[in-house]
Structures are given as C-alpha cells and as structure tokens.
Amino acid sequence: MNELYLSAPGLVTPLGSDVATVCKALFAGQSGLCQMPGLLLGDAPAWVGAVTEPLAPLPEAFAALDCRNNRMLRQALDQIKDAIEAAKADYGAARVAVVLGSSTAGIDVGEKALAQWQASGELPDDFQYEVQTLGSVARFAGAYLGVSGPCYTLSTACSSAGKAFASARRLILAGLADAVVVGGADSLCRLTLNGFAALESISAGPCAPFSQGRQGISIGEGAAVFLLSRRKGAVKLAGVGESSDGYHISAPDPKGTGARLAMNEALAQAGIGEQDVGYVNLHGTGTPKNDEMEAHLVADFFSAAPWVSTSKAQIGHCLGAAGALEAAFCYLTLCHGKVPPQLWRGQYDSALPPLRFADAGQDAALRHVMSNSYAFGGSNVSVILSHE
C-alpha cells in the first residue's frame, strides 16, 4: 500500500503560532508583514514577515543548539508531539525519521558572535559553531523528539521544504522508516536579507505578487511540521514531483519547462489529471520574472482554471520553510473548505494572462490541491495533497 497520510500540522508563522489562529488570519486575507529595522546594511527598515510571539529558549540539554530557528521549530514540533509519540509506540523510535528543509539554521547566532568578535576580538564563551550548520536543524529535532531513524536537513534554497516531502515519501516506500517528521523552518537574519538586497530582489514596500509595478520579495520566517505515515487520516500526500532545469543561477526559465515537468510528475504520482486540481498555491514571490513565468505557465497548463493565490503576500517568502508552510495552508484548505485569498497591493498586472484568483471568504469543497516552489539554480517541486 503506497498511500501516505499527513497529520495535522504544527505551525509557527507571521499570522500566528497555532492552527486555529493561523486559519482565521489566513482565510480572512490578513497580512503578517511589518517593517523591521536593523536587518539591512545602512539601517534602512525592511518589510518582512516576522513571528512576533515570544519564543522560549530551548531546554538546557539543547543549549548548544539554541537559536531562533530551533526555537520556532521546537514550538511547531510540540503541536504534533502526540502524533509522534503514538508513532514511536507503534513502530519504535528507530523507525521514525526526520527530514526538514532550511536555508538559515542558526546563522543568527553566528551573526551575533561575529559582531562581538569585531567589537572585542573574542567570540562569546557559549558560542557553538554547530548551531549554524544546516544539519543541526534535523539533528535538534531528532534528539528533542527522541527518535533515531534517518535524520537529515535538505537545503535547496526555496524548494527545500517542498523537497523534504519527496524524501520523506521515499524513505517510507523504500522501507527505511514507518513514519517521518517532515517540514521546514527558516528564520530572519541579516545574511539572507542583505544577500537578496545585493541581487536587487527586495521590495521597498510590502511585496505585491502579480501586481503592476511589483518590485520583489519580502522575506519571512516560520516553521511547519507534519508526521507522514501510512496511518489513515483526513489528508493524503498524493504526489510530489521534482525537477532541476538549471536554466540560471537566480532567474527562472521563462518557459517554465522544469516547473511543468515537476507538476506533471506530481499529477502522475497522484493518479489524477490537471483538471482535477481545484486550487494551486502559487510560488508567487513578487519578482517580475517569477510572476511572469508562473502566470503564463498556470494559464497554459490547466484546462479548467483552478482557484489560485500566493501565501507570500501574507507571510513573506519563508525561503527554506516556504514549501512546508504553504503545504500546511493547503492542508487547511482541504479540511476547512475555504481557499486562501490573494492579497492585493495594487492592480493585477494586465500584461499577464488572467488567472482565477480567490477572494477573501471564498468557499470551495476541494479534493485535490497543489503547491509549487521554485528555487535558485532551477530546483523545482510540486506537491499535491488530497482529501479523503
């Protein structure tokens, strides 16, 4: 039996840090974007999607891995701990794996350590280099949860957490695990903000995906985790398609060739046609080239126009965690019969083909939804969730 199901998600987002709060804000079309000083060089404020609720320090046993990223991750993991404990009881801790996506890990701790070293010539006494390594994300989760199956972090830029679903699926189907903690976490830091600013990809105001005059992205942060297993549930991980077109280090293939391959593979795994997809969570970054490519691709790919929207107008682009957060929003869409609305900041770009953007309060009883993520270097992933 190849059918795999997702537990309800654990969520920490700019819209809230529990499922009920996130649902209310998501479907109402609220924004979690705000101006934050101190992130960009020159001290110009940046528009970001920030988690504003307090994040408790990690337990003393994990002090060496304490960072903003792992604090968000821990809070999300706690929300699904009952499902994980049940899996440990059913399968054994060695049969529960961890696959997470991230692009930042604990780099914020490294930034603070560097600032102290520049000021005093000495690193903080408690600085641990490991906290800023990408592998530390999954290692922390595995140790915190007390599981000992395969455990690793994926970092493929903006497709990281989406690709984690593909890896988690393969682990179970290959017989290497019976359950997988899957998702992603990414946190705000100066390195990321200034890297994208150097590429002239940061929007001066809140990001405005698919709008006339859009300027670029607003970076966000958050964590989303699920437990994937054969235990029957409300939502099935129906298919995950991956591709790597390598068109350009940072620009998307304007024809969307690799993105199309990923979408077709996901449909084939799910055993459905493109006409069966009722909603697509667009990558929708707000950069001119990404939105242009994606609008033309979606308009051409789907014969029966599905509802569409992008979550990045509400929470920002959460980079390595984006695919997990957006999969969580798709999960909520299936379970609540509502579609996340498109949040507009200006008029739709009339140079783009028309799409069926959802408005706030849009009800829709859907069986299949798709979430797409496209990353630097041409890494593409398409995730399909289905409602039983």
pLDDT surpasses 70 at 69 = yes
The pLDDT value recorded for residue 43 is 79
Once rounded to an integer, what is the mean pLDDT over residues 222-226?
Answer: 98
Q: From residue 375, how far is each of 12, 253, 301, 321, 380 by CA, in Å?
A: 22, 11, 20, 12, 6
pLDDT surpasses 80 at 337 = yes
Place of tokens 């997809």: 277
pLDDT surpasses 70 at 328 = yes
249 — pLDDT class (breaks 50, 70, 90): confident
Q: What are phi and psi of 274, to 5 degrees?
A: -60, -25
Q: What is the mean pLDDT of the chain?
A: 96
Q: From residue 214, how far is each of 291, 294, 347 by CA, in Å?
A: 9, 14, 10
378 — pLDDT class (breaks 50, 70, 90): confident
Distance CA 388, CA 371 (A): 18
pLDDT digits (tens, 9 = 90+) for 8-56: 999 999 999 999 999 999 999 999 999 999 999 887 899 999 999 999 9
**Which amino acid is present at 257?**
T
pLDDT digits (tens, 9 = 90+) for 160-192: 999 999 999 999 999 999 999 999 999 999 999
pLDDT surpasses 70 at 206 = yes
The Cβ-side half-sphere exposure at 379, using a 13 Å CA radius, reads 17
Once rounded to an integer, what is the mean pLDDT over residues 370-374?
Answer: 97
| Percent residues over pLDDT 70 in the chain | 100
230 — pLDDT class (breaks 50, 70, 90): very high
Distance CA 283, CA 59 (A): 35
Once rounded to an integer, what is the mean pLDDT over residues 313-333?
Answer: 98
Q: What are phi and psi of 381, to 5 degrees?
A: -150, 140
Complete DSSP assignment for 47-115: EEE---S--PPPPGGGGGG-SHHHHHHHHHHHHTHHHHHHHHHHH-GGGEEEEEE-S-TTHHHHHHHHH
pLDDT digits (tens, 9 = 90+) for 105-152: 999 999 999 999 999 999 999 999 999 999 999 999 999 999 999 999
Distance CA 112, CA 114 (A): 5
Distance CA 210, CA 345 (A): 9
| List of domains in the chain | 5-387 (3.40.47.10)
1 — pLDDT class (breaks 50, 70, 90): low
**Which amino acid is present at 43?**
D
pLDDT digits (tens, 9 = 90+) for 273-304: 999 999 999 999 999 999 999 999 999 999 99
